[in-house]
Amino acid sequence: MNLDEGKPGGRDTEAFKHFKQTGKNKYIGDKSCLRNGESLYLTSCSGCHGHLAEGKVGPGLNDNYWTYPSNTTDVGLFSTIWGGANGMMGPHNEDLNPDEALQIITWIRHLYTGPVQDAVWLNAEQKKNYKPYKEGKHFSKDEKGQCKPLEQ
């Protein structure tokens, strides 16, 4: 994973620095980041993975089956987004900067509908509060949190 390449920006945010040090994504569950993550996901990913990450040309990302089990960690998922996988799953570091990739990860984790014990990206507290995603729930542009509204 080479961070010298790819879309500029998003490398010195608090959350990305934290992610580099700890492998933990501070945006998980933050409504302001979910709002951005949904929009970024719909632009870059849903055409192949489906609106709800239910799978299309690309595999589903909302269940507990992973071709590459490394994607159950946010570090693994980040590296798939940044560097790509096989075939049509190319690298996405030209359309997303690292901080935006963290926001997409936040949205993908939010779309999860599988068993909570397999959601290894959640901590104990988050597992306790886990509710499977229900279609149609969106977050408004006024949500306060760590993520500023995306520039249009």
Enumerate residues 4-33 that contact ligand HEC by CB under 6 A. none
Enumerate residues 69-88 that contact ligand HEC by CB under 6 A. 71, 77, 80-81, 85-88
Centre a 10 Å sphere on the Cβ of residue 77 and count the other Cβ atoms it contains: 23
Q: What's the gap between Cα 92 and its chain centre? A: 12
Q: Which of 11, 44, 64, 145 binds ligand HEC (CB under 6 A)?
A: 44
- Cβ-based nearer residue to ligand HEC, 119 or 140: 119
Contact window for ligand HEC (CB under 6 A) among 5-13, 17-25, 41-49, 115-123: 41-49
Q: Which of 42, 48, 94, 141 binds ligand HEC (CB under 6 A)?
A: 48
Q: Does 57 bind ligand HEC (CB under 6 A)?
A: yes
Q: Are the C-beta atoms of 129 and 81 separated by less than 8 Å?
A: no
Query: Shortest Cβ distance from residue 58 to ligand HEC (Å)?
Result: 3
Query: Shortest Cβ distance from residue 20 to ligand HEC (Å)?
Result: 19
User: DSSP letters along the chain, please?
Assistant: --TTSSSSS-SSSHHHHHHHHHS--TTTT-HHHHHHHHHHHHHHTHHHH-TTS--SSSPPSSSS--SSGGGGSHHHHHHHHHH--STT----TTT--HHHHHHHHHHHHHT--S-GGG-TTS-HHHHHT-----TT----TT--SSSPPPP-
> Binding site for heme c, residues?
45, 48-49
> Binding site, residues?
45, 48-49
Contacts with ligand HEC, residue ranges (CB under 6 A): 44-45, 47-49, 57-59, 61, 66-68, 71, 77, 80-81, 85-89, 92, 104, 108
